[in-house]
Amino acid sequence: MLLKIKNKITNQIPISVKVTIWYTFFIGLLLAAILGSLVFISDILVTNVSQKELIKSVNEIATNPHKFESYDDGIFFLKYDSSGRKLGGLTPAGFFDNARFSPNKINIQKKRNNRFFYYDMKIRHEHGNWVRGIFPVTKIGNILKKLLFILIMMSPILLFLIIYGGYKIIKNGFKPVEKISNTAMKIKENKDFSKRIDIGYGSDEIHNMAKSFNSMLDTLESSYLHEKQFSSDVSHELRTPISVIMAESAYGLDHIDTIEEAKESFLVINRQSKRMTDLLSQIMELTKLEGKETIVKEKFDISQMIIEIENDFIKMSKDKNIVFSADVENNVSIYGNRVLLERVFYNLLTNALKFTKNKIKISLKSYSYLNCCIIEVEDNGIGIPQNEQSKIWDRFYQVEQSRNKNKNKGYGLGLSIVSTILKLHNGKIELQSTPNQKTIFKVILPINNKS
Ligand code: ADP
């Protein structure tokens, strides 16, 4: 329950704010730790270094009395005789000169805010005279304190700069995400798949995400347009037979008097109904195939299948004066769906028969080193102009000059069915055509592909 409330609250805070709070906390912690350890270390450092320096300097004067000076390098020196009478030197302000010899150890004197280290030592060859070195710790401590004070004063400014700069960078970094969600909302509201996210040039993670989003929109737009086009094509194709049926039946109702006239009208209606059934079954077939991801495959002799189909076509067109020739390699077997592949060659030969002048050639050759076989269907008909060759695979597409021909009674779906079936077989189809000379459809199928 508590966790749910916490999640509800934190999910409402923008990510940029969350990240800023997160690193501000740690930077603040880090800064406090650095400053704290600086205070601590500086104290130890000052004590250690200054005590060592004091011992060294006093020791030097005790062994070389002629080097005696009242003040050198931050240290005050005093000289006494054996009874504690001051013989020379300088006493730092605030130091209480007790003149009691306390040899070979660091002594500490604290008076109000002042702190001193002092060190005594007998002077060599001077019969009881001794030297005292005094180091006023407060002085160097004050400098360090000032330094620390400056640092502490600077740290909020530094912290502010870090937080502000970081926040700005994160905020700007997330701007494209805002654009992405706005674009998605607009697409949802207006169903306008042509919208794209424009966040300029870049290759960071957000730009890459926007690119992926745009390419997803490309796919969505093309399939959306495809579907739209498909529905409009289907209605367009159905409109003609339906209009004919309606006109013919209306005419029949009003004007037909004899059985013969009625039969004629029924013939027209029957022909148009057949066209509609034909079209609808082709659409169903294509839709079914496009929804499939895999098909049932079995090993079969494709050479035999090609010869059988060719024979059927020879029989079908025996009164058409068309010369068929075949160059089919024997005993080539492949893994595939026989029924669907029959449909492929049936469609290709139907087209060849529709558009040829007088020759149709079919060949099959296997290439075991390429693990494929190639089947070519060639005719010497009207051909397909170069600029139309990429379009004939689209659903309902028919080349203008063939559309006008009385003998092309298709709907422009045959080749879409062919290419869909071949995709399901991991195969492909290529086209070579020279208008008014020849057209070759080249089907390439893998031989040993079971999957
Ligand atoms: P259709 O059922 O109309 O033949 P297809 O998808 O099979 O539909 O073919 C699309 C179009 O491609 C045909 O309408 C025709 O214009 C062209 N086409 C296909 N095969 C041939 C060919 N062998 N020769 C000339 N044009 C062809």
Give the residue carrying structure tokens 């005050």: 76
Distance CA 207, CA 187 (A): 19
Find the 354 Cα to ligand 1 centroid distance in Å.
8
Find the 176 Cα to ligand 1 centroid distance in Å.
47
pTM over 0.75: no
Is the beta carbon of 384 within 6 A of some atom in ligand 1? yes
Token readout for 53 is: 């320096």
Of ligand 1's listed atoms, the one at least distance from the Cα of 441 is: 23
| Helix, strand and coil in the chain, % to nearest 5 | 55, 20, 25
Angstrom CA distances, 142 to 37, 46, 72, 153, 366, stand at: 17, 11, 19, 16, 96
Of ligand 1's listed atoms, the one at least distance from the Cα of 352 is: 23
- Tell me the CA end-to-end span of the chain in Å, nearest whole number: 51
Distance CA 181, CA 7 (A): 22
pLDDT in tens, 44-82: 877 888 889 999 999 999 999 888 999 988 899 999 998
pLDDT in tens, 18-54: 888 888 889 889 988 888 888 788 778 778 888 899 9
**3 pLDDT exceeds 60?**
yes
**AA identity, residue 100:** R
For a mutational test of ligand 1's pocket, the pick from 281, 282, 415, 443, i.e. the residue with the most ligand atoms closer than 8 A to its C-beta, is: 415
Identify the band that residue 1 occupies on the pLDDT scale cut at 50, 70 and 90: low
Residues near 75 by Cβ (< 8 Å), separated by ≥ 6? Answer: 53, 54, 57, 133, 134, 135
Find the 412 Cα to ligand 1 centroid distance in Å.
7
For a mutational test of ligand 1's pocket, the pick from 282, 402, 436, i.e. the residue with the most ligand atoms closer than 8 A to its C-beta, is: 402
pLDDT at res. 441: 98
pLDDT at res. 408: 62
Is the beta carbon of 355 within 6 A of some atom in ligand 1? yes
For the chain, helix (H) and strand (E) counts, in that order, are: 9, 13
pLDDT in tens, 218-250: 988 888 887 888 888 888 888 888 998 999 999
Identify the band that residue 141 occupies on the pLDDT scale cut at 50, 70 and 90: low
Find the 286 Cα to ligand 1 centroid distance in Å.
16
Find the 32 Cα to ligand 1 centroid distance in Å.
80
Could you tell me if 121 and 103 are in contact, meaning their C-beta atoms sit under 8 angstroms apart? yes
pLDDT in tens, 85-135: 999 999 998 888 887 888 889 998 887 777 889 999 999 888 889 999 999
Distance CA 54, CA 108 (A): 12
pLDDT in tens, 272-331: 999 899 889 888 888 888 888 888 999 999 999 999 999 999 998 888 889 999 999 999
Is the beta carbon of 414 within 6 A of some atom in ligand 1? yes
pLDDT in tens, 343-359: 999 999 999 999 999 99
Burial label, 48 (beta-carbon count in 10 A; 0-12, 13-18, 19+): exposed
Is the beta carbon of 412 within 6 A of some atom in ligand 1? yes
Is the beta carbon of 50 within 6 A of some atom in ligand 1? no
Is the beta carbon of 282 within 6 A of some atom in ligand 1? no
